[in-house]
Amino acid sequence: MDKVENLVAAAYKARERAYAPYSGYQVGAALLTASGRVYSGCNIENAAYGATVCAERVALFKAVSEGERKFTALAVATEGKEAASPCGTCRQVLWELAPELVLYLTGPDGVQRVTLEELLPRAFGPTHLREDCVHE
């Protein structure tokens, strides 16, 4: 199995663990690190709807909290009419740490490859801030 297929399979597996009782829309994500590790995530909804977190951010936050900082690819899996595309908040959050990310969006029509830069052109990011504002 190649790298992309593997990542897509991990995203579908994570989707099975989605907690989405309000929307019924289940999403899975799988994030590949530069070192070859895969971190998965699913959407986790909340009765206070605004507290819901998307699958993409769950995967990223899990990885970052385990010490990861470099990411190369992200697969997102849904079974809706069309492939899910990360929401605006997720695009911004992904941009912070992985502006060169390649995404594989999967749905009934197969897998679509897209870059984060295509999804979030002219993004606001760390480079816009004064250097003395950025502490790593």
Contacts with ligand THU, residue ranges (CB under 6 A):
20, 23, 25, 27, 43, 45, 52, 54-56, 76, 84, 86-87
d(CA 119, CA 96) in angstroms, rounded, equals 14
User: Which is nearer to ligand THU, 76 or 102 (by Cβ)?
Assistant: 76
User: Which is nearer to ligand THU, 38 or 86 (by Cβ)?
Assistant: 86
Q: Smallest gap, in angstroms, from Cβ of residue 23 to ligand THU?
A: 4
User: Which is nearer to ligand THU, 89 or 126 (by Cβ)?
Assistant: 89
Residue type, 110: G
Tokens of 19: 């907690």
Q: Smallest gap, in angstroms, from Cβ of residue 42 to ligand THU?
A: 7
CA nearest to 29, candidates 50, 47, 53, 2: 53
In degrees rounded to 5, what are phi and psi of residue 26? -100, 130
d(CA 33, CA 38) in angstroms, rounded, equals 6
Q: Smallest gap, in angstroms, from Cβ of residue 19 to ligand THU?
A: 8
CB 56 within 8 A of CB 75: no
Tokens of 102: 């390649």
Residues catalogued as catalytic: 56
